[in-house]
Structure 1
Amino acid sequence: MAIFTCEPAGHAPACGCGTGRRGLLRGAAALGAALGSGLAWSALLPTPALAQAAASKPRRIDVHHHLTPPLYKDVALSRVEMSPPARDWTPEKTVADMDAAGIDVAMLSVSTPGLGFAEGEERRRLARVCNEYAAEMAQRHPGRFGSFAAVPLPDVDGALAEAVYALDTLKADGLLLFTSYGNTWLGDEKLHPLYEELNRRKAIVATHPLSPQCCTNVVPQIADTVVEFGTDTSRTIASLMFSGTAAKYPDIRFIFSHAGGTLPFLIERLDFQARPPAQSAKLYGGAVRPALGHFLYDTAQAANPVALGALRQLVPTSQIVLGTDFPYRTSPEQVQGLAGCGLDPATLRAIECGNAEALIPRLKV
């Protein structure tokens, strides 16, 4: 089992700016004023305690962090309901939340309602709007953001075109796919033309659940986010595995939200499904455990000993990455939850940053 540890890094300021020439001039002026007032040189140098505090500061990379571009929000609100956290999102709130939790870098993605309220060319345009807005945020806050680009599925041709533009022109770090589109889950053969290109690129594909067409508002007293989101994540993982799609495209790096949904608790049933040779032959590695261990999983809304403990019984720690699900949860809440899971320091550092740095090498400092 590979465990990655992180070199400590200073936390970038909220504006994302480096020190720069003006910062150096301000520092020189402050230094001159201090010396002029008789302050000793030793008082200006870092104390051992300060140096130790800076060196011990953990680096954190959040792979599950949402944004709501203004134009996307305007169109969405004219068609569907939007939850208050998504509706009220602003860049300032995102940066403040990251700073409060010591998040150095966040991977931005659009969450529910996704693009399903639009059709045809409008859906393609909205995907482009979202992706260009995320790229602009990364430019305004250097070093703080990456992105998993939106694509207009189930329009496969449009998704292919947007994937190429987002990855090549906007330099997105990967794509964001939802767990289902209508009654199509991610193992469906209709998506193979997109997967062929993503497999060639060894692309990262983060996923996010939604309310599937089959199972919306099944229990009126319980929001779909409570039960159906985790269930749809499990459906799509099983779809990818038992269709043979994941084995056919092994170089796509899939990340599943929320510790894989209900997956850890279905392991005996999945093992039973794989007993016939005709079924196990479809799986990456020929069995359920290697197939599941080939995917990655984030900790968003699963940063607790029960969910994380179950996931760690199923997959190597190297496959687990930090996620916060901001703005639906706060980053401090998720970071503190993870810290309370009883992990040893090396494992905690791997989940908070090392595994993400291995997945996205540009993030290494």
Structure 2
Amino acid sequence: MSQNDITPQRPAKEDYKRIATEEAFAPPDLFDMYRKVLADGKADAGFTSLWAFYLSSDAARPQHIRKYIQDLDTARLAHMDEAGIDIQVLSLTSPGVQVFDADTAVSYARTANDYLAEAVRRHPTRFVGLAAVAPQNPAEAAKEIERGATQLGMKGIIVNSHTQGEYLSDPKFWDIFAAAEAFDMPIYLHPSTPPPKMIEPFMEAGLDGAIYGFGVDTGLSALRIITAGVFDRFPKLQLVLGHMGEALPYMAYRLDYMHRATVAANRYESMKPLKKRPSDYLRENFYVTNSGVAWEQAIRFAQEFMGVDRVMYAMDYPYQHVLDEVITLDNMNMATHDKKAFFQTNAERVFKIG
């Protein structure tokens, strides 16, 4: 019998729901719009490297992604059932609308959110939606957050790490934070390919994507938000970071030490004192998901550092769809209450599910 003839073991029914919190979708016309951006030759190197490949390659992985990322009905639900996933928290795939010009981005964010809201209405017990916004126009992004919260039933916001090389730490974007705090909507800060000023050495080594570049850029984006004083201005704001917090929890001691030393040295105009340590903001203003990291030691460390109530499950579908990973996490040596918090109750609280 060949390896391909072996039916994978399916996750067993457990005493908790499995809520997957970083799961991607794409409306049917999004890839045509991405192809147009590529054809225009105006996209940055990161977008071009990523999407020129995923939209054209015949390799198994990009074919799988193209086939299933646009399905919000039968095939996706079958995959969820196969993996024992009760609920997916859905968000527009990266870079979403952040690659478009401002007017197109504002318009298509509304279109994508309407499309997602309709899917949630079709499958209200299986899907939860995060609203996409266009940082290119922060005032319109704030309006879309309000619409998502008050009209569409969205449970959070999806924003990718940078917008054409600009980061949310710039105060011109802070209308987005104000609206998120006002409507009690968590922002999922999702990876994108590194911007032009950063990407070249990653691309030389094939490290610009999910293997490393995504995490480096998204961790940078989150840390810029912290050191810019965003949480001193918006203390109730909550962000979510995938992939075990893009490594920031594991760097917390050094971040605290070097932030304190850098501020004391008055080395950078951009590095000012904060009311708290960077690690305090990580513990109080961030949640992390394990998306793509089925590794008990990393999850347990994050729980110890962040608190059990701030670490959640994610699969990263359809980019990562591995049944064995679900089984591995079911078998973690963890107190029953803590495991239920990881898979179910934290997500229910953060995204107001139920």
TM-score where L is the length of structure 2: 0.80
- Structure 1 counterpart of 2:78, one-letter code: A
Give, in whole Å, the separation in 2 of the partners of 1:73 and 1:138. 21
SS in 2 for 1:79: helix
CA 1:241–1:133 in structure 2 vs 1: closer, same or farther (change >3 Å)? same
Partner of 1:282: 274
Aligned pairs for 1:117-128 within 5 A = 117-128=99-110
Give, in whole Å, the separation in 1 of the partners of 2:115 and 2:324. 27
- Structure 1 counterpart of 2:330, one-letter code: A
SS in 1 for 2:22: strand
Please report how far the alpha carbon of residue 157 of structure 1 lies from its aligned counterpart in structure 2 after TM superposition: 2.2
- Structure 2 counterpart of 1:124, one-letter code: V
Please report how far the alpha carbon of residue 108 of structure 1 lies from its aligned counterpart in structure 2 after TM superposition: 0.7
Tell whether 2:66 aligns with 1:87: yes
Aligned pairs for 1:221-240 within 5 A = 221-224=205-208, 225-240=210-225
SS in 1 for 2:169: coil
Quick check: which has more Rg, 1 or 2? 1
Please report how far the alpha carbon of residue 147 of structure 1 lies from its aligned counterpart in structure 2 after TM superposition: 0.7
The answer (yes or no) to whether the contact 1:301–1:324 under 8 Å persists in 2 is yes
CA offset digits 1:182-241 (Å, max 9, x no partner): 332232211112212221222111110111213224233324221111112211221121
Please report how far the alpha carbon of residue 134 of structure 1 lies from its aligned counterpart in structure 2 after TM superposition: 0.8
Aligned pairs for 1:198-347 within 5 A = 198-213=180-195, 214-219=197-202, 220-224=204-208, 225-276=210-261, 281-283=273-275, 286-294=276-284, 295-330=286-321, 332-347=323-338
Unaligned runs of 5+ in 1: 1-52
SS in 1 for 2:152: coil
Unaligned runs of 5+ in 2: 1-11, 39-50, 55-61, 265-270
Tell whether 2:354 aligns with 1:357: no
Q: Which moved more, 1:287-296 or 1:216-225?
A: 216-225
Give, in whole Å, the separation in 2 of the partners of 1:240 and 1:334. 32
Give, in whole Å, the separation in 1 of the partners of 2:327 and 2:170. 38
Give, in whole Å, the separation in 2 of the partners of 1:99 and 1:293. 33
Give, in whole Å, the separation in 2 of the partners of 1:324 and 1:72. 22
Give, in whole Å, the separation in 1 of the partners of 2:140 and 2:151. 16
The answer (yes or no) to whether the contact 2:168–2:174 under 8 Å persists in 1 is no
CA 1:217–1:274 in structure 2 vs 1: closer, same or farther (change >3 Å)? closer
- Structure 2 counterpart of 1:134, one-letter code: L
The answer (yes or no) to whether the contact 1:187–1:246 under 8 Å persists in 2 is no
Match of 2:35 among 50, 72, 77: 77
CA offset digits 1:336-360 (Å, max 9, x no partner): 2423442222211110001111223
Partner of 1:13: none
Please report how far the alpha carbon of residue 117 of structure 1 lies from its aligned counterpart in structure 2 after TM superposition: 3.2
Tell whether 2:81 aligns with 1:102: no
CA 1:86–1:125 in structure 2 vs 1: closer, same or farther (change >3 Å)? farther
Please report how far the alpha carbon of residue 333 of structure 1 lies from its aligned counterpart in structure 2 after TM superposition: 4.2
Give, in whole Å, the separation in 1 of the partners of 2:99 and 2:179. 26
% identical aligned pairs: 23
CA offset digits 1:87-129 (Å, max 9, x no partner): 2222233212211122111111012232233213222222122
Give, in whole Å, the separation in 1 of the partners of 2:86 and 2:328. 18
Partner of 2:5: none
Give, in whole Å, the separation in 2 of the partners of 1:324 and 1:111. 14
SS in 2 for 1:64: strand
Tell whether 2:54 aligns with 1:64: no
Give, in whole Å, the separation in 1 of the partners of 2:329 and 2:347. 16
Give, in whole Å, the separation in 1 of the partners of 2:259 and 2:27. 43
SS in 2 for 1:66: strand
Please report how far the alpha carbon of residue 322 of structure 1 lies from its aligned counterpart in structure 2 after TM superposition: 1.0
The answer (yes or no) to whether the contact 2:253–2:279 under 8 Å persists in 1 is no
TM-score where L is the length of structure 1: 0.78
SS in 1 for 2:29: helix
Give, in whole Å, the separation in 2 of the partners of 1:311 and 1:349. 16
Q: Which moved more, 1:121-130 or 1:301-310?
A: 301-310
Aligned pairs for 1:88-237 within 5 A = 88-89=67-68, 90-91=71-72, 92-213=74-195, 214-219=197-202, 220-224=204-208, 225-237=210-222
CA 1:101–1:355 in structure 2 vs 1: closer, same or farther (change >3 Å)? same
Please report how far the alpha carbon of residue 309 of structure 1 lies from its aligned counterpart in structure 2 after TM superposition: 3.5
The answer (yes or no) to whether the contact 1:100–1:331 under 8 Å persists in 2 is no
CA 1:337–1:247 in structure 2 vs 1: closer, same or farther (change >3 Å)? farther
- Structure 2 counterpart of 1:291, one-letter code: Y
Give, in whole Å, the separation in 2 of the partners of 1:175 and 1:206. 6
| Alignment RMSD (CA, Å) | 2.2
The count of aligned residue pairs is: 308
